[in-house]
Structure 1
Amino acid sequence: MNKDKELKRAVELYKNLNRQRKEILSLPAEKALDRILDSPQPAAIVHSFLEEDFYFLINDIGIEDSLQLLSLASDKQWEYILDIEVWEKDRISINNVTKWLNLFIKADSQRFVRWFLNKKTEFIEFYLFKNIEVKIREHDQDPSIFGDDFFTLDDVFYIRFVDLPSGAESYSNFINTRNEVLSKFIDTLSGYDHNIYQNVLLEAFSIIPSEYEEEAFRLRNVRLAEKGFLPFDEAIGIYQPLKPKALSGQGAKFIAESSEERMYLPVPHYSTAMLKKDNLLTNFLKKIKEDDVLQQIQVELAGLANQIIVADQKAIKNKEELGDIVKKTCGYISIGLKRLTEEGSNLDENRAVALIQRFPLSHIFRVGYGLVLELKWRVEKWRKISWFEKNRLPLSFWGEGWIGALGGLLIKRPLYYDNYKTGLLYREFYSIEDIKYTEKVLNEIIAFDRLLSHITVKLAPPYSGSLTCKNLVLTLWARHYLGLSDVLIPLNIDEFKIFFDNLWESGEKPRKTNILMKGSFLKWLSEKTGFDPYDISRELGKTMENLFSEIESEYGSVSKEDLNSQYIHLFITK
């Protein structure tokens, strides 16, 4: 009975802390700080935060403004901060260690000493080894032989702060800060227990730095792996594509049985709170009725986001940066679910929910990412045999819109060419529609390249640098229309004006392209390439319409008298 009562009390405490934690994390940073500090038990609330949520919280508030929270933080929260902040690949950054030791000492110097003595003795000894030199004075030894750089607190241990390699303009500021941190630490440790102080100084110079750093890195990776921060060579596996058939042959993931006490264990809030309402994955998660299953999937999602952070080698310190990672994670999971469940144009939502509960989200992510890689591989394969590559033309040959799509697919990790529609030139693929649109553009480019491969043309300076697929084909057509040779030679302005007169239907500006001229263009393409006009229209009809729309937009309001070859880009003129 007593155990049942204790369990109920614990569950009620979890419920209360869970509610308060969610409320606090939904507040603006400055209000969140006040809410915690004004609560009857601020330490309990701070300790209830998962380490990653606490880390993002203090970064949102501002590190210097979060010293009170740091003083209340648990040992695990302090350790997590060091695990995230002080490592640069597999090496400890002395600069970053200095920064955070300074903050911990400011937050609570006495607690910091107790913490490092109990939990991080070798870590601090490693730091001291890198930053100080210690000499022990014999009873009959003159201390002046040590030099003016040495100081002592007990006339036995003489200490000097060593110089470090200068690598930045702020070196002097860093040295001043480091010296202040070391002075404060040494004074505090000596005042705490002078015998321990002497032992720490002695042990600091018995440490083997390379061995300690290697072991510390291993233990750090073990701790972070529990939160999804795998070592880079393992985390990068998230970008290994997975075929839908390969996924269906794998076993189901483990979902723990429902229990009331498990329901109130902390779930990473920052990651799950950034799920957008219009996200396909979010819509599917809403259909999961069991709260404990939903929470386990949310924890899994947070771990996957952390794995992607490692794979992308990004330092994430605020909500906006984390939001981009979560959006990317959800995007590829949504694409994977769409790929696994879509039959024709219908989406089986119930099957999608079942897949989320059955298979690891990382595997569904890989199914989605595989679609993008298939586009990338298709581009790379086509480029090797393409007409434009054989003619050694730059990517700029395809014009701004098409080069954007190609460029996004040709980089190491493909990106979607957004062209600032959402404020970015390139972004991650967020939906199956992004992939289908990019595939459509790629199909048009490949079809256009195939068309050009059947047109005999010799490319040469002086216009090869400014040559595009548009002005190439339009200039050849204009020369044919004017009865000039089929050689790609720039039109002089008088020749172009004759063509310009015939290009338009009669009427007020802005003018429309004469329908007969469009027919003439299609007929010329058919004759030059040997392709049936119907096939050209089927594969490139929309492309050609867009081309004539661009002509109308550029020149539909321009008078013949105002034409200047300097400003004509869709035709090669001189």
Structure 2
Amino acid sequence: MSELSTQWLRSERASLAKARGRRKLDVILDSRQPEALVASLPAEDLFFAIQEIGLADSAPIVRLATPEQFRLFVDLDAWKGDEIDPEKVLLWLRLARGPEDEEYRARLAGLDLEVLELLLRGIVRVFDLEEDGEPPDELEGTIEHTAEGRFVLVYPSEGAEYAAARRLIQDLYAEDPFRAGRLLYAVRWELESELNETAWRWRNARLADLGFPSPQEAASLYAKVDPSAPLPAPGAPPDEPPGFFLASLESGTLLDRALGLLPDEARDELQLQLVAVMNASFVADRVDVSDSDAVRAQAQAVRATIELGLSQLAGDEPVRASTLLAGASLKHLFQVGFTCTLELSWKAQRLVRELPLRLAANGAFLPDAPDGDALETLLRRRPRYHGGLDGPGARAEVRAFATHDEILRAGAALDRIEALGLSLKAAGLEPARAAASVIEAWGDAGISRARFGELFVTAAAREASGLDFAFASLPASMLDEAARAAFDDDARLRPAFRQGAIAALERAAGAIEAPVRAAAEAALDRLEAEVGPQLLAEGRLDPRFAAPWIVPA
């Protein structure tokens, strides 16, 4: 390939990386050499582009694809688990048929015979005249004899399947009569389970060459490693040309800056390593690769986890990071990053086991947002970071951990959660009794609403009304008295109520740490902000709208 064509292909791939949705189709078709561009692209990247564009609009690209690329489209999209999906195969065949029969037949010939046999088996009934003899007279449907006279084919009387199957068999005979006869013989005599197993095996072997491992091997991606151990050498990357999909995810992160310091050849090799890690994650996490949004989200999570591993070992220094990348296994960097999140997850699991951090299995975690939400995301099968930990006003998005600072913020949240859990335990919180009280007041849905803030301010209102400081509801008959005790004439919380509430929590728990005091003060601020305006406007509270106080309606 000439230097000029190499530069042209890099430029076209960069344009594809920037394009979104149907604009990708325009980039390809407006190229000066669309067929050469498509042939130069990794089949996997092309498949993702087709899914992003939409199958209905992607026929022009499918008809430019090589037979090998087309076969991968079917490998990726036409299987449900370990069984072929005939409707998807027919869809791809319809997309592949263009005005040039020769090109279509080349794509058809590139598919495994077993895939076509399984497709036809569900549509056409085949009689082998040499071994079956003449078929019965009462057959229903459209009946045809094959050109060599050996088979009788019985199609459905009408419909899209009839037309598709009939044309497919005609195409097969036009391309290679001997191969077509073998196919019909297999449709008639081979066991469906054996055909499916053979097709499945061929398909998986091809995907393995592209970095899609077996489920057992893919699971090793999430293995715990020793971050301080020497980095292993990288394995062989997939034998693929450079692509454009991963470039669409670049956002100026440490990984991007470090890659940018490497020569083109080293960067291309690392991108192929990244493809292998991404594909392993698709298998391990059972990502539907035909779902473009799910694919992009998973790819971003993989990059973030590698980024985390890189930052753990290189800090925020691009030069050091690029030196490390030059001889590193990206799979190992991913495992280093994932191990950091595992340590947080294990602590979160321990806290939930040992401390009263929710009222019921289906209830919300008691720490108020964002800590309670962060606890939930840390307990996921793949621990995630909650954006609310970034600070006031931050987007509460859930994303993969990407930086050491995020690890530190999540660790600090767990420290606050532990302090709160210890205080609740010392204060005698009985989750089952508190849950019953919440359900009595707010119904079953209340379990997902009641957190520390609601329990604490309600316990404080109980004490201010002459009841005990307890994690239970406030009787509706005591609501007016509680409001008078808590709020002044301007609907602001009385300083004495604030001080008394904190003091009551300290007495119940023995002592409270600074994070617990801060959580209690924040809960009192929310009480004033949510109840005060209603009290000022109406002069009294309606039990139905007295939250965060837990009051039976």
Q: Secondary structure at the match of 1:160?
A: strand
Q: Secondary structure at the match of 1:234?
A: helix
Q: Secondary structure at the match of 2:58?
A: helix
Deviates more, 1:30-39 or 1:543-552: 30-39
The aligned counterpart of 1:70 is: 62
Deviations 1:359-383 (A, max 9, x none): 2122112222222222222222222
Deviations 1:437-492 (A, max 9, x none): 43333332322221122224663686242464333333333444455445666545
1:84 to partner: Cα distance: 0.5
1:419 to partner: Cα distance: 7.0
Deviates more, 1:31-40 or 1:548-557: 31-40
Confirm or deny that 1:249 pairs with 2:249. Answer: no
Deviates more, 1:313-322 or 1:89-98: 313-322
Letter in 2 for 1:49: L
Q: Equivalents in 2 of 1:460, 1:68: separation in Å?
A: 63
1:416-427 equivalent positions in 2, closer than 5 A: 416-418=385-387, 426-427=398-399
Q: CA 1:365–1:189 in 2, change beyond 3 Å: closer, same or farther?
A: closer
User: Would you say the 8 A contact 2:16–2:244 is kept in 1?
Assistant: no
Match of 1:238 among 215, 221, 235: 221
Q: CA 1:243–1:183 in 2, change beyond 3 Å: closer, same or farther?
A: same
1:321-360 equivalent positions in 2, closer than 5 A: 321-342=294-315, 347-360=316-329
Letter in 1 for 2:280: Q
Match of 1:159 among 133, 153, 174: 153
1:405-416 equivalent positions in 2, closer than 5 A: 405-416=374-385
Q: Equivalents in 2 of 1:52, 1:37: separation in Å?
A: 19
User: Would you say the 8 A contact 1:275–1:326 is kept in 2?
Assistant: no
User: Would you say the 8 A contact 1:126–1:204 is kept in 2?
Assistant: yes
Letter in 1 for 2:59: L
User: Would you say the 8 A contact 2:67–2:106 is kept in 1?
Assistant: no
Deviates more, 1:183-192 or 1:227-236: 183-192
Q: Equivalents in 2 of 1:195, 1:69: separation in Å?
A: 31
Q: Equivalents in 1 of 2:434, 2:177: separation in Å?
A: 83
Q: CA 1:71–1:365 in 2, change beyond 3 Å: closer, same or farther?
A: same
Confirm or deny that 1:133 pairs with 2:125. Answer: yes
Show structure 2 runs of 5+ residues with no match.
440-445
The aligned counterpart of 1:283 is: 257
Q: Secondary structure at the match of 1:205?
A: helix
User: Would you say the 8 A contact 1:235–1:311 is kept in 2?
Assistant: yes
The aligned counterpart of 2:443 is: none
User: TM-score of the superposition, structure 1-length normalised?
Assistant: 0.80
Letter in 1 for 2:382: R
Q: Secondary structure at the match of 1:453?
A: helix
Letter in 1 for 2:416: E
Letter in 1 for 2:115: F
Q: Equivalents in 1 of 2:527, 2:10: separation in Å?
A: 61
Q: Equivalents in 2 of 1:211, 1:143: separation in Å?
A: 25
Q: Equivalents in 2 of 1:15, 1:313: separation in Å?
A: 36
1:528-547 equivalent positions in 2, closer than 5 A: 528-531=508-511, 536-547=512-523
Deviates more, 1:358-367 or 1:477-486: 477-486
Q: CA 1:518–1:14 in 2, change beyond 3 Å: closer, same or farther?
A: same
Q: Secondary structure at the match of 1:463?
A: helix
The aligned counterpart of 1:210 is: 193
The aligned counterpart of 1:6 is: none
Deviations 1:271-323 (A, max 9, x none): 1222123x33223323x232221221122222222222222212234654433
Q: Secondary structure at the match of 2:455?
A: helix
1:51 to partner: Cα distance: 0.9
1:60 to partner: Cα distance: 3.5
1:318-467 equivalent positions in 2, closer than 5 A: 320-342=293-315, 347-387=316-356, 395-396=363-364, 398=366, 401=369, 402-418=371-387, 426-456=398-428, 459=433, 463-465=437-439, 466=446
1:118 to partner: Cα distance: 6.3
1:550 to partner: Cα distance: 0.9
Q: Secondary structure at the match of 1:80?
A: helix
User: Would you say the 8 A contact 1:376–1:410 is kept in 2?
Assistant: yes
Q: Secondary structure at the match of 2:201?
A: helix
Q: Secondary structure at the match of 2:97?
A: helix
Deviations 1:211-262 (A, max 9, x none): 34333323322322232221222212222232312xx234333799xxxxxx
Pairs aligned (count):
530
Confirm or deny that 1:556 pairs with 2:550. Answer: no
Deviations 1:47-102 (A, max 9, x none): 11111222223334433433333233212111111111122222222222222223
Letter in 2 for 1:448: L
Deviates more, 1:114-123 or 1:266-275: 114-123
Q: Equivalents in 1 of 2:247, 2:521: separation in Å?
A: 45
Match of 1:472 among 446, 455, 458: 455
The aligned counterpart of 1:520 is: 500
Q: CA 1:324–1:133 in 2, change beyond 3 Å: closer, same or farther?
A: same
Confirm or deny that 1:568 pairs with 2:546. Answer: yes
The aligned counterpart of 1:220 is: 203
Letter in 2 for 1:442: L
The aligned counterpart of 1:169 is: none
Q: Equivalents in 1 of 2:471, 2:35: separation in Å?
A: 78
User: Would you say the 8 A contact 1:470–1:570 is kept in 2?
Assistant: yes
1:36 to partner: Cα distance: 4.1
The aligned counterpart of 1:179 is: 162
Q: CA 1:388–1:64 in 2, change beyond 3 Å: closer, same or farther?
A: closer
Deviations 1:317-352 (A, max 9, x none): 46544332222112112222233345xxxx444333
Letter in 2 for 1:234: E
1:31 to partner: Cα distance: 5.5
Instruction: State percent identity of aligned pairs.
Output: 23
RMSD across aligned positions (CA): 3.6
Deviations 1:480-517 (A, max 9, x none): 445544566654567554454454577x56x3x44444
